[in-house]
Amino acid sequence: MNFLGIFILLAFSINIFADESKIKDIYKSKNITGSIVIESLDGEFSYKYNSDNNEAFIPASTFKIPNTLIILEEGLIKDQFEVIKWDGVKRAYPPWNQDHTLKSAFQYSCVWCYQRYAAMLSDEKYRSYLKHFNYGNQITGKDITSFWLDGDLRISVNGQISFLRKVYDEDLPIHEKHIKTLKNIMLSENNDHFKVWAKTGWSGKSGWYVGYLIADNSVWLFSNHIEINSRADLKYRKELAMESFKALNILK
């Protein structure tokens, strides 16, 4: 490599380090323990904070992303508008106490909705999909209806990025129409400046906000995991990710 090439590489590395320091300062200012990866679709730009050890965590409701694909592929529900009838059991979160569609179940993170369909599948079936998706450690647990909440399934922030890239590229052993349905229900923000396809998650001390963002015709994958010590911390799952985007000048 010539001198100019070395200089450009060094300058690029310094800029990446400076940007990652900004992200670190954001987390420190909120007194939040966590890790985040923000990466361009082509992988050319990758910004990371506290993720080098590749520690894995329970995916919680972020598993609704692959779970939606599995439920659709297995024909357990036909589309995002089919009604999921409420069983009449009152639960602590009021928005769950009503009929849902797949779209509203995803957006409201309706646990019982997804558990109903999970109960129709076998552990063998789930492990087969996890293997083909190369999702996390590919281990389920004792209860087929809650292994993503309190079982043995684990995934790292880097692992979430790898899976999200496959979702965006539609590079999964799933019918194209089902991946497009997933994308329709993942769309959470759509304005003149950017669009976000995302899912939050929370189980115990694990809090997640994962997805991808399009701004200025550029696609950015993101995966944020934070330690939840109180309900007040839940807002930081999304807030820290969005502030990091602004620190990197991806969002204005």
Q: Which of 35, 51, 61, 203 is the catalytic position?
A: 61
* Alpha-carbon span 219 to 127, nearest angstrom: 30
230 counts as catalytic: no
Among all residues, which ones are annotated catalytic? Answer: 61
